Structure 1
Amino acid sequence: MKFQLDEPQGGNTIHRHDTRSVWVNGTEHRNSLLVPWQGTVEDWRLTRFEDLTEAHFERIRALKPELVIFGSGSRIRFARPQLYRALIEARIGMETMDIGAACRTYNVLASEGRAVLAALLIED
């Protein structure tokens, strides 16, 4: 008999993903997005990895997660550390993964009640 909830109460859950979209709480998203452990899922306004700027990570810092899971698209690509300096200075951890691994890892951490945020790049 299972006594653990499948979904965290009041939190966001990623239900499905592919290379062009991610489903959060049953809603399909076809643009890059920020998925906080609780609260509103936000458009990240990013269409290409090469367009990442410091401002993209400043926006994440403002949401105050303890850990960021960066889904860099269909393959792993690492952002230059100077781009996410705001996270480093705020002592917010960041892990980079492909989008599938990022979605799975986010769900595990969110189900544990962690203050995690998935920053998911969906490229055109």
Structure 2
Amino acid sequence: MDVTPVIPAGRQVIERYGEGRFKVTGQVWEGSILVRPTRTLSLAAKDFAGLDIDGLKPIFEADPEPLEILLIGCGPRMAMIPPTLRAAVKAMGPAIDAMDTGAASRTYNVLMSEGRRVAAALIAVT
């Protein structure tokens, strides 16, 4: 029995991460990234401490569909989202959840394959 999820054409799938880069739907991205099912963008933050609402705004503008869930890939380890960042994201609508970058990448792929309105801000892991 094949249990591989069917991914609609044109969707952004995170295929690999590590060594300071990501491979998303066949394209290699250097550094941290923002991913939505329809688009991938570079993220200026080089580490979790550098992540702020201004850096996340492009993910809200990348697709007209409102976000349901924003996953934060904190790097090699999970970290707590600062209350000010959590409040700023919540004011824009989606739930926000933090985990290490590997877990966030896998969770994004599962939620995206289910058709959820998900995005991920992923800090590159070296």
Give the TM-score category using the shorter length. 0.7 to 0.9
Q: Which residue in 1 is equivalent to 2:97?
A: 95
Divergent runs of 4+, >6 A: none
CA drift of 1:20 comes to: 1.9
Please give the TM-score of this superposition, normalised by the length of structure 2: 0.84
* Contact 1:57-1:86 within 8 A present in 2 as well: no
Contact in 2 for aligned 1:44/1:56 (Cα 8 Å): yes
Cα deviation code 1:56-78 (max 9, x no counterpart): 23333334321111100011112
Aligned counterparts of 2:57 and 2:26: Cα–Cα separation in 1: 28
Shift of 1:103: 0.8
1:66 maps to which residue?
68
Q: Verify: 1:82 aligned to 2:81, yes or no.
A: no
Instruction: Give the TM-score normalised by structure 1.
Output: 0.85
Q: Secondary structure at the match of 1:60?
A: helix
Residue identity (%): 32
Structure 2 Cα separation of the partners of residues 114 and 7 of structure 1: 12
Unmatched segments (≥5 aa) in structure 1: none
1:96-115 CA distances to partner (integer Å, 9 max, x unpaired)? 11111111100000001111
- Cα distance in 2 for partners of 1:82, 1:43 equals 23
Supply the distance in 2 between the matched residues of 1:123 and 1:100 (Cα, whole angstroms): 9
1:56 paired residue number? 55
Please show how residues 1-124 of structure 1 align to structure 2 within 5 Å.
2=2, 5-38=5-38, 40-63=39-62, 64-122=66-124
Which blocks of at least 5 consecutive residues in structure 2 are unaligned?
Answer: none
Distance 2:122 2:89 in 1: 16
